[in-house]
A = this chain, B = another copy of it.
Amino acid sequence: MIVKLSRNDAETRQAVSAALEAMGAEVRCLEFPFGCFLAGLGLENPPLKKIQAMAGVAWARAAGSKPILAAREQNPHGSLVQLGRMEIGGEALALVAGPCSVEDREQIFSTARFVAAYGATALRGGAYKPRTSPYAFQGLGQEGVELLKEAGLEAGLPVVTEVMDPADVATMAPFVDCFQIGARNMSNGPLLKAVGRAGKPVLLKRGPSATLAEFVLAAEYILLEGNAQVILCERGIRTFETATRNTLDLNAVPVLKSMTHLPVVVDPSHGTGRRDAVSPMARAAVAAGADGIVVEVHPDPARARSDGEQSLHLPEFRRLAEELRPVAEAVGRRLDLPETLPFAPNQVPLLRRAPGWGGSR
């Protein structure tokens, strides 16, 4: 059962919690910008009417196979997720860019510097990599996480990186501004719960065979841990089509917007697996109403240790940002690009020395 409070004071919370506990429920208090909720879990036939009649209770609903906390009606104007200096879900679009994998210091620093200069609002990069083959590059692990954060700090960008094991959440947390749950882990309950408890923004990717209803329920797992800072990311589903690596399902954008109040971003790199389709699909995503774009960028895609064929070259990223801007404006959104460009796109200064480290430890 989920209970929405109409009065969020300690007295009400305590009284309702006590009533739920007396019924045998496990009780959680969930305070979100869009309201305060109490979850009473584990009851088979919860006495909704009795709770609903209590003072300070707006409503009480049986929880079942549909999302409640993530449902659009809880926040019809849409939720904002703060990531660095920007609010994802607002008028301005998010532009999350970076390499598939953090490979070495030079690669991640030069990419970070470049994408920051051309309008990225966050830096992405994988350190724990889910790979189909156990023989494929599995990422640099915690070392990669720390390198990414260092590069993000230097470039002034918050960082997003994937976590695969609940046991890694605590170690990674000081270096991570937003945890990514990868597509293969969308239904990984223990992991969803762990990032829910970490209290940081979560970029949740849609599973390759997940329906949109299941996708929103995966987000509900995170919200039920008290964390509403969830960004949904469409990244392609698995279909019979082989011309693209996945079938980027942009229908997800308007449909998710009608189902949930959470921001929705789109990853055309994984969604298509083809460099030549990334920019058209990024433009399409913005036109469909996405709140941002997640895109793979690499200083030398031909030598990338993963996903090279779908990573943009640095100059292509600049062009992408420039192409996205008018589309954003055509649909009443904004893409804030820097006025002055510190260097020519094909002359990205490579890092000569390690910058002073100032992590958030």
User: Which A residues form the contact surface with B (CB < 8 A)?
Assistant: 41, 63-67, 130-136, 138, 164-167, 184-185, 187-190, 207-209, 211-214, 217, 220-221, 224, 237-244, 247-251, 253-255, 258-259, 271-272, 274, 276-277, 280-281, 283-289, 323, 326-327, 329-331
CB–CB B277/A283 < 8 A? no
Between A138, A272, A280, the greatest number of chain B beta carbons within 10 A of the residue's beta carbon is seen for A280
6 A–B contact pairs at CB < 8 A?
A133-B220, A138-B189, A212-B241, A240-B240, A243-B251, A284-B288
| A65 and B65 alpha carbons, distance in the complex (Å) | 28
Query: Hey, which chain B residues are within 8 Å of A281, CB to CB?
Result: 250-251, 254, 288
Cross-interface CB contact of A238 among B184, B240, B289, cutoff 8 Å: B240
Q: Which interface residue of A239, A242, A276 has the most chain B CB atoms within 10 A?
A: A239
Decide: B189 and A209 in contact? CB cutoff 8 A. no
Please give the count of copies of this chain that the complex contains.
Answer: 4
**Bound: A212/B244 CA distance, A:** 10
A165 to B169, CA, bound (A): 13
Q: Are B209 and A208 in contact (CB under 8 A)?
A: yes
Known contacts A164-B189, A242-B242; A63 and B135 CB within 8 A of each other: yes
Rounded to whole angstroms, the CA-CA distance of A284 and B285 in the bound complex is: 6
Whole-angstrom distance between the alpha carbons of A249 and B249 in the complex? 7
> Whole-angstrom distance between the alpha carbons of A249 and B186 in the complex?
22
| Complex contacts, A238 vs chain B, CB 8 Å | 209, 240
**Are B224 and A134 in contact, with the CB atoms below 8 A?**
yes
